[in-house]
Amino acid sequence: MRKTLLPLAALALSLTSAPAYAGAGSFTLINGTGGNISSVSIRRTGTADWRSLTAAPAPGAGAPVAFSDPDCAFDIRASVGGGTATWSGINLCGTSRVTLQRRASGETWVDYD
């Protein structure tokens, strides 16, 4: 009996799939800065390759961002009220909504939903 169970157990383990690690996916970008956003770009954290996004939501509004990348950590840069603000180390894995926040002092942070 034991000789029969061992090969069956090995077969069962080989048929189970490894967990899929989905990277960053599409999300809704919310403008919580209180100012007008005129342009938005994104890059993988630690790189210099900024990519433009079409989203530029009005204050308090959101815009969908079609996005797919195997990584999770990103930086977002936006032109807000005549200046530029950067939000660093944003985790986009498993996130459906990202709210960009900014104080008048220039401090930035994000809220996740």
CATH of the domain at 39: 2.60.40.2890
**Measured distance CA(39)–CA(97) in Å, rounded:** 18
> Which tokens sit at 98?
């990202």
In a domain, 11, yes or no: no
Expressed as residue numbers, the domain containing 45 is 23-112
Measure the CA angle with vertex 33, ends 28 and 38; round to 5°: 75
In a domain, 3, yes or no: no
Q: What is the pLDDT of residue 22?
A: 62
pLDDT digit string (tens) for the chain, length 113 residues: 545 544 444 444 444 443 445 688 889 999 999 999 999 999 999 999 999 998 899 999 999 999 889 999 999 999 998 899 999 999 999 889 999 999 988 899 999 98
Q: What is the pLDDT of residue 3?
A: 55
> Which tokens sit at 53?
């996004």
